């Protein structure tokens, strides 16, 4: 970044929030309510992130609608369809919105970049009409119709339930619901929800919505088959194997924190999780992080953490350490452990890929082309795995589990922007 001219230097926000899901909404709204000049940078066309993606506001759950309206009223400036592609806390964030690129400068940054799905490859997973669980939810919320389609829901975690329910409600025939976690672990997790009665009730409602379909724990996808598109899946519970005809498969194995921006900005990231202190501050005192990048714990935790981060970034002195907000946050954080204990992917899932199974979808690197004795970097250089546009977003977590590859370095640009975004002398966003 070049040195900026003195006039532009004054055009600095107090807080820049990156991400428009629960954590980002809470951070932006609360910081702005406290008097800070706030700008929020969100990839989505509308606020809400993944959890509150919507076509119409009246489709939103009440909590989502409330926070979005609160953010509207707070005075925070919203930049939709915008991605941070480069930058530093000191020199500003390089943002691309449509074909325009510009700099956003702020005294504090709140990273609220959420999480993405963990995909584990299996034969046939690249067929059209194989989606992730989150992918299915996102596309349904974005207007995809599934009435009359024959769907198999598989993978793991609470999202499995939610998507099965959403599919049923949308008129799809839910042919099978397969949770890879063993029955006992699922039962224990369900029992642990007694601590979070709201979530237990939500789970029960979901189950009722797809009541006609048998819920099968300890069951997973062996492979997907079809010519040019998905036509059937083969399911297994380790003893029995059977085929289920279907034209849509929704399958993924949990959530992975999106830590790329945190890495790019130089924040400490350990074991795939952004390290934060009790005030949601990262290793860089100007940068905060809230929600899933600090550990996957769900939307309620994200809201609380977003509020803490936003208020701290806005120098809210009224926020005390013992306040109910911190207590609530610590309580919701424990949900991370419950989730991880219940739904971690079982060993059999790592044996699914055969030599011909594609591991890197961007570069069509097949499992047989990877020598497990290589380091991650070696595999990348020799086969191009992780070198495509997604930069390892999909294959990285899978390769970590399959081969023990450590994540590689994060380099700019993020999100494959037009080259022009990396030119010098970008305009400041306050001038646009």
Find the binder of other proteins among 7, 62, 143, 322 (CB under 8 A): 143
Find the binder of other proteins among 9, 10, 45, 201 (CB under 8 A): 45
The 3-class SS string of 323-367 reads: CHHHHHHHHHHHHHHHHHHHHCCCHHHHHCCCCCCEEECCCCEEH
State how far the Cα of 103 lies from the Cα of 264, in Å rounded to an integer. Answer: 16
Beta carbon of residue 15, minimum distance to other proteins (angstroms, whole number): 24
Beta carbon of residue 419, minimum distance to other proteins (angstroms, whole number): 5
- Measured in whole angstroms, how far is the alpha carbon of residue 28 from the centre of its chain? 19
Beta carbon of residue 44, minimum distance to other proteins (angstroms, whole number): 8
- Residue ranges in 297-316 that form contacts with other proteins under rule CB under 8 A: none
| Tokens read off for 232 | 């059937």
- Terminal CA-to-CA distance of the chain, rounded, Å? 19
- Collect all residues with Cβ–Cβ distance below 8 Å to 200 and sequence separation of at least 6: 190, 193, 194
State how far the Cα of 41 lies from the Cα of 96, in Å rounded to an integer. Answer: 10
Q: Identify the H or E element spanning 188.
A: helix 183-192
Stretch touching other proteins by CB under 8 A, among 22-30, 141-149, 284-292, 310-318: 141-149
Stretch touching other proteins by CB under 8 A, among 66-74, 134-142, 187-195, 200-208: 134-142
Judged by CB, which is closer to other proteins: 141, or 307?
141
Q: Identify the H or E element spanning 403.
A: helix 395-403
Stretch touching other proteins by CB under 8 A, among 62-70, 212-220, 321-329, 378-386: 378-386
Beta carbon of residue 137, minimum distance to other proteins (angstroms, whole number): 7
Find the binder of other proteins among 191, 381, 406, 431 (CB under 8 A): 381
Cis peptide, bond prior to residue 413, ω within 30 of zero: yes
Stretch touching other proteins by CB under 8 A, among 37-45, 66-74, 169-177, 344-352: 37-45
DSSP classification of residue 9: H
Site string for other proteins, 227-266 (x = CB under 8 A): -xx-------------------------------------
Beta carbon of residue 258, minimum distance to other proteins (angstroms, whole number): 8
Find the binder of other proteins among 188, 361, 400, 401 (CB under 8 A): 361
- Residue ranges in 210-229 that form contacts with other proteins under rule CB under 8 A: 228-229
Phi, psi torsion values for 56, nearest 5 degrees: -130, 140
Phi, psi torsion values for 430, nearest 5 degrees: -70, -15
Beta carbon of residue 7, minimum distance to other proteins (angstroms, whole number): 20
Stretch touching other proteins by CB under 8 A, among 4-12, 142-150, 192-200, 299-307: 142-150
Find the binder of other proteins among 9, 10, 61, 81 (CB under 8 A): 81
Find the binder of other proteins among 132, 218, 295, 345 (CB under 8 A): 132
Instruction: Decide: 258 and 289 in contact? Cβ < 8 Å.
Output: no
Q: Give the number of other Cβ atoms within 10 Å of residue 337's Cβ.
A: 12
CA atoms 290, 103, 50, 184: torsion sign:
negative
Does position 139 bind other proteins by CB under 8 A? yes
Find the binder of other proteins among 27, 103, 130, 399 (CB under 8 A): 130
Q: How many residues bind other proteins (CB under 8 A)?
A: 68
State how far the Cα of 74 lies from the Cα of 338, in Å rounded to an integer. Answer: 35
The 3-class SS string of 363-400 reads: CCEEHHHCCCCCCHHHHHHHHCCCCCCCCCCCHHHHHH
Judged by CB, which is closer to other proteins: 11, or 390?
390
Judged by CB, which is closer to other proteins: 217, or 266?
266
Judged by CB, which is closer to other proteins: 274, or 393?
393
State how far the Cα of 299 lies from the Cα of 334, in Å rounded to an integer. Answer: 13
Strand-pair category, 38-41 with 77-79: parallel
b/e for 54-91, b at 16 or more Cβ within 10 A? beeeeebeeebbebbebbeebebbbbeebbbbbbbbee
Strand-pair category, 241-245 with 232-236: antiparallel
Beta carbon of residue 141, minimum distance to other proteins (angstroms, whole number): 9
Find the binder of other proteins among 108, 413, 428, 429 (CB under 8 A): 413
Find the binder of other proteins among 5, 6, 7, 56 (CB under 8 A): 56
Q: Which residues sit at the interface with other proteins, rule CB under 8 A?
A: 1-2, 43-45, 50, 55-56, 81, 86, 91, 99, 116-117, 119, 126-132, 134-139, 142-145, 228-229, 358, 361-364, 374-375, 377-378, 381-384, 387-391, 393-394, 411-413, 415-425
């Amino acid at each position: 970044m070049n040195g900026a001219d003195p006039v532009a230097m004054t055009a600095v926000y107090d807080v820049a929030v990156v991400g428009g899901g629960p954590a980002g909404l809470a951070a932006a709204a609360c910081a702005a309510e406290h008097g800070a000049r706030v700008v929020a940078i969100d990839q989505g066309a509308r606020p809400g992130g993944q959890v509150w993606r919507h076509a119409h506001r009246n489709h939103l759950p009440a909590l989502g609608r409330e926070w979005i309206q609160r953010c509207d009223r707070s005075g925070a400036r919203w930049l939709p369809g915008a991605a941070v592609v480069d930058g530093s806390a000191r020199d500003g964030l390089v943002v691309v919105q449509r074909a325009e690129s510009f700099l956003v400068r702020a005294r504090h940054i709140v990273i609220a970049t959420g999480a993405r799905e963990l995909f584990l490859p299996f034969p046939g997973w690249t067929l059209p009409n194989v989606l992730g669980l989150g992918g299915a939810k996102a596309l349904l919320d974005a207007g995809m119709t599934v009435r009359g389609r024959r769907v198999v829901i598989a993978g793991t975690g609470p999202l499995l339930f939610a998507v099965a329910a959403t599919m049923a409600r949308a008129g799809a025939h839910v042919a099978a619901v397969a949770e890879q976690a063993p029955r006992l672990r699922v039962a224990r997790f369900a029992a642990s929800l007694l601590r979070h009665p709201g979530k237990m009730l939500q789970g029960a409602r979901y189950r009722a919505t797809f009541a006609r379909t048998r819920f099968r724990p300890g069951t997973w996808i062996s492979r997907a088959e079809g010519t040019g598109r998905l036509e059937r899946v083969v399911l297994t519970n380790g003893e029995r194997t059977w085929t289920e005809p279907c034209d849509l498969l929704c399958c993924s194995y949990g959530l992975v924190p999106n830590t790329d921006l945190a890495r790019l900005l130089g924040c400490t990231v350990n074991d795939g999780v952004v390290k934060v202190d009790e005030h949601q501050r990262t290793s860089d005192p100007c940068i905060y992080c809230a929600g899933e990048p600090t550990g996957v714990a769900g939307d309620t935790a994200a809201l609380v953490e977003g509020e803490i981060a936003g208020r701290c970034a806005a120098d809210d002195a009224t926020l005390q350490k013992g306040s109910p907000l911190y207590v609530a946050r610590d309580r919701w954080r424990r949900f991370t452990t419950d989730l991880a204990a219940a739904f971690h992917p079982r060993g059999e899932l790592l044996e699914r890929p055969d030599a011909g199974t594609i591991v890197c979808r961007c570069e069509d690197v097949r499992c047989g082309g990877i020598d497990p004795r290589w380091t991650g970097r070696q595999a990348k250089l020799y086969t191009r795995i992780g070198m495509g546009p997604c930069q390892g977003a999909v294959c990285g977590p899978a390769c970590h589990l399959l081969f023990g590859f450590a994540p590689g370095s994060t380099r700019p640009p993020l999100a494959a922007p037009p080259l022009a975004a990396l030119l010098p002398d970008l305009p400041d966003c306050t001038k646009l």
